[in-house]
Amino acid sequence: MDLKHNWSPECIVFDLDDTLLRDDRTISKRTLSALRACHDRGIRILPASGRAMESMIDYVREIGVASHFIACNGGEIWEVPDTIVQRLLIPERYVHEIALDLCRRRLYAHTYDGNSFYYNAFDGGNGYARDYAVSSKLTGHLVDDFPSFASSHPTGKLMCISDPQTITDLRGIYQEKYAGILSVTTSKPFFMEINPLHATKGEALHDCSELMHFDLKRTWAFGDSFNDLSMLLAAGRSFAVKNAQESVLHATTDICPSNEEDGVACVLEQLLLS
């Protein structure tokens, strides 16, 4: 890693999974120390994830120095510990339409409500619901009439899980069909995430800059995946971890070590704390 430091940030914003978190979904002591040291120097610390609030909050508490965080790919902004500042919801008609379409395609999908997620019957023996419960720390519930259930529970996010090729193909179909209506993105190659139109990490970062009084041009952003691109492009300086998706590696101003190598901490130590 050969990085040059020419200005200090007012805010550091970062994705969680595959960026800040190691592969075992933990935050290293080294990373925690670096984030807290930056906070002690007056730099704002802002987690930004595709995860729901209930799936993020334990990490936010562990970090311990964030006053706000971005959830649901930008669909929600929270003030720590549990005050909702901004929430965008998918219009009910589109929730029902998409939930019905995914069921017709026999693809696994789920929606959220509080500390739980609710999924359809098309797990396909792949253990999607079981694995998601472990990774998200949420409780999963099977529902019989998924389209009706989903459309009767206001949500800012629908999730489809399948093999990477199916997700890539379907994302293209949905992005074309719902252009100007909804935001369709991916955080992992096997996740397709559907959010309200303006629910992007980039737009949420802009809103946070006004709320928290920092300059977007003096913001450092870290990410790895397609759903991080808007945030990375909005920030004054952007870092892709080495394990990032190819499109992200090409879009950022800098590349740092991988999540397993504590890439975020490496940058902060080298450029701000040395």
CATH superfamily of 11-87+200-273: HAD superfamily/HAD-like (3.40.50.1000)
- Where do the domains of the chain lie? 11-87+200-273, 92-196
Residue 10 CB neighbours (<10 A):
19
- Decide if 63 contacts 32 (C-beta within 8 A): yes
Pairing of strands 11-14, 44-47: parallel
- Decide if 116 contacts 138 (C-beta within 8 A): yes
pTM: 0.95
Distance CA 142, CA 118 (A): 6
In tens, the pLDDT along 202-238 reads: 999 999 999 999 999 999 999 999 999 999 999 999 9
pLDDT digit string (tens) for the chain, length 274 residues: 667 666 899 999 999 999 999 999 999 999 999 999 999 999 999 999 999 999 999 999 999 999 999 999 999 999 999 999 999 999 999 999 999 999 999 999 999 998 999 999 998 778 999 999 999 999 999 999 999 999 999 999 999 999 999 999 999 999 999 999 999 999 999 999 999 999 999 999 999 999 999 999 999 999 999 999 999 999 999 999 999 999 999 999 999 999 999 999 999 999 999 8
Q: Among residues 10, 90, 79, which one has the least CA distance to residue 44?
A: 10
Do 11-87+200-273 and 92-196 come out as alike in CATH topology? Answer: no
CATH 3.40.50.970 fits 92-196, yes or no: no
